[in-house]
Amino acid sequence: MNKCFICNKNSSETILDLGMSPIANNLEIDIDQSQTAEKYPLNLSVCRSGCNHVQISEIIDQKKIFNDYFYMPSVSKTLTNHLKEISKEINKKFKIKSDTFILDIGSNDGTFLESASNFSKNILGVDPAKNLSDIANKKGIRTINDFFSHKLAKKIKNKYGSADFIISTNTFAHTPKINDFVEGMKELISDEGVIIIEIHYLGSMIDDNSFDTIYHEHFSYWSLNNLNNLFSKFGLNIFDAYVLPVHHGQLRIYLSKSKKYKKTKSLNDLLDKEEKEDLIGKKLKLFCKKVLKIKSNLLDLFEKISNDEKIVYGYGAPAKASTLINFIGENNLKYIYDKSHLKQGKYLPGTSIKIKDPSEIQYDKPDYIFLFAWNFSKEIIDDLKNNFNFNGKLIIPIPDLRIIDID
């Protein structure tokens, strides 16, 4: 048993063992350093004390993961458009004034705040990655390079006042210090303010068999019921929740100190659905069995391709690629293409697989492309057809293994 992040009891039991894996986003410039990158146990566990929190078992120092970070939402058209829509949605629901204070926790390169600045100039980002904070600040997006915490929340409040809106997209799962993080949000949000969190949803992960979203920077895997229990302890009320298609199924929740916001039907329906499906019981257990079957199917496919003397290239070098490759091995996988200039020329951690510019596809002429960034399959397939002249076969591993002809 390991310690639960929420209740702090030694009651977290391993339910899925994904083997040893390096820090997924720590791409290496040197092949020898990549191949010898330190690996850590990658296990999914659930708290048996009654709080039911789902988390990874091994806690890695956050500074090792986030000080220098290579993931940028601005590389994806799909994700950039999604982040732009958030500020429009906030304005539609609540009305943003010219002096409304908007804080983005985990602001990355400032993509969301650029959009929010069309409504209010009183914006602030917080991000622990120095390279990304520098990019945002150079763009004129005021960004604090630090981890969000209760202590930092007090400093921000003293300097800038209470926040009218706090946004956190794909950041809330990135800390093992969850109670301190929530306390910081409560400290900083105004009495009538609204917090909007987007997070990888446990229900979607289970439904899509997307075990590749399990990696060390995702410390927690959230159900809506677990989120509701957590925030209730701090006097924060979730009043709306629904699942979005981005990132293969992402949960968006709205919460506030104020009880003036009426709980929506969508929120209540999703809470009821989780209970009826026994999400953290039978359904989670079945998911763990399916993961082992997916591994078997992928190993069989790679063996067949190897016997046919064909070569597989990858497309997309997100963190999930590291989980998949370290789970099934890198045999017969030559290179990975990725549009991010921050990633090109580097190696996927724990492997000898180099990341290349997708423009080289037309010269490499791969027989197969393995789609690691399968959650952006439509955008990538359009690129492969229209921009990179690929006419081979595409392997889509998740939710269900598929091989499709691009031509």
The predicted pLDDT at position 73 comes to: 60
Q: Look at residue 355 in the predicted model and tell me its pLDDT.
A: 96
* pTM for the model: 0.88
pLDDT for 75 equals 61
* pLDDT given at position 115: 92
What's the fold here for domain 309-405? Answer: Rossmann fold (3.40.50)
**Domain-wise residue ranges, the chain:** 60-277, 309-405
**pLDDT at residue 66, as a whole number:** 62
Beta bridge partners of 405: 393
Q: Give me the residues of the chain with pLDDT under 70, please.
A: 62, 64-76, 247-248, 407
CATH of domain 60-277: 3.40.50.150
The whole-chain average pLDDT of the chain stands at 91
Confidence at residue 69, expressed as pLDDT on a 0 to 100 scale: 54
pLDDT value of residue 65: 63
The reply to whether domains 60-277 and 309-405 share a CATH topology is yes
pLDDT digit string, tens, across residues 30-59:
999 999 988 999 999 999 988 999 999 888
